[in-house]
Amino acid sequence: MDFYHIRDPVHSHIKIPDEGLVSKLIDTPELQRLRYIRQLGVTYQTFPGGEHSRFFHSLGVAHMAGRMFDAVTGPAGNTGEREKLQVASLLHDVGHSPFSHVLERFFTPGVSHEEWGQRIIQDGSTAVGEVLAKSPYSPREIAALIGKEPSRPRYLHLIVSSQMDADRFDYLRRDAYYTGAPYGNYDLERILLTITIGKNDAVQVIEKGKFSVEGYLFSRYHMYNQIYLHKTTLCFEFLLRAMLKRAVELLERSGASLPKVLMFGDTPMGTNMNIQPVDYLSVTDNEVLACVRSWTRSQDPVLSDLSRRFLWRRPIFKPVKNPAIDQQSIYDKKEKMAKILQSRGLDPTYYLYVSMREARDAYRPYSPQKEDRENAILLEDGREISEALPGLRALDIGPTMLLCVPEELREEIARVLK
Give the domain CATH number at 127. 1.10.3210.10
User: Which comes out higher in pLDDT, residue 380 or 267?
Assistant: 380
Say what the pLDDT of residue 314 is: 85
Q: Are residues 191 and 332 in the same domain?
A: no
Say what the pLDDT of residue 270 is: 47
Mark which of 169, 201, 228 sits at the end of a domain. 228
How many domains, the chain? 2
Say what the pLDDT of residue 128 is: 97
Three-class SS state of 165: coil
Residue 304 belongs to some domain of the structure? no
Residue 369 belongs to some domain of the structure? no
Q: Are residues 64 and 188 in the same domain?
A: yes
Cα–Cα distance measured from residue 320 to residue 175, given in angstroms and rounded to the nearest whole number: 26
| Mean pLDDT on 248-264 | 69
Burial of 399 (0-12, 13-18, 19+ CB in 10 A): middle
Say what the pLDDT of residue 13 is: 93
Q: Which pLDDT tens digit goes with each residue over 71-90? A: 999 988 888 999 999 999 99
Mark which of 228, 244, 279 sits at the end of a domain. 228
Q: Are residues 189 and 328 in the same domain?
A: no
Say what the pLDDT of residue 418 is: 79
Query: Phi and psi of 213, rounded to 5°?
Result: -70, -40
Residue 254 belongs to some domain of the structure? no
Q: Are residues 185 and 330 in the same domain?
A: no
Residue 235 belongs to some domain of the structure? no
Are 176 and 37 in contact by the 8 Å Cβ rule? The answer is no
Q: What is the mean pLDDT of the chain?
A: 89
Residue 93 belongs to some domain of the structure? yes
CA angle 379, 189, 388 (to 5 degrees): 25
* 195 DSSP β-pair partners: 205
pLDDT band for position 8 (cuts 50, 70, 90)? very high
Q: Are residues 346 and 202 in the same domain?
A: no
Residue 69 belongs to some domain of the structure? yes
Q: Which pLDDT tens digit goes with each residue over 137-184? A: 999 999 999 987 778 899 999 999 999 999 999 999 999 999 999 988
Residue 4 has pLDDT above 70, yes or no: yes
| Mean pLDDT on 397-414 | 88
Q: Are residues 62 and 176 in the same domain?
A: yes
CA angle 376, 231, 57 (to 5 degrees): 50
| Mean pLDDT on 189-204 | 94
Residue 40 belongs to some domain of the structure? yes
Say what the pLDDT of residue 276 is: 82
Task: Give the side-chain half-sphere CA count within 13 A for 4.
Answer: 8
Residue 295 belongs to some domain of the structure? no
* 384 DSSP β-pair partners: 378
Say what the pLDDT of residue 271 is: 44
Cα–Cα distance measured from residue 166 to residue 175, given in angstroms and rounded to the nearest whole number: 14
Residue 278 has pLDDT above 90, yes or no: no
Q: Could you tell me which of 151, 123, 155 has the C-alpha nearest to residue 139?
A: 123
Q: Are residues 213 and 327 in the same domain?
A: no
Q: Are residues 193 and 63 in the same domain?
A: yes
Domain containing 17 equals: 3-228
Residue 130 has pLDDT above 90, yes or no: yes
Mark which of 202, 228, 254 sits at the end of a domain. 228
Q: Are residues 37 and 170 in the same domain?
A: yes
Those residues whose C-beta lies under 8 Å from the C-beta of residue 382, and which sit 6 or more positions away, are: 198, 199
Query: Phi and psi of 299, rounded to 5°?
Result: -75, -15
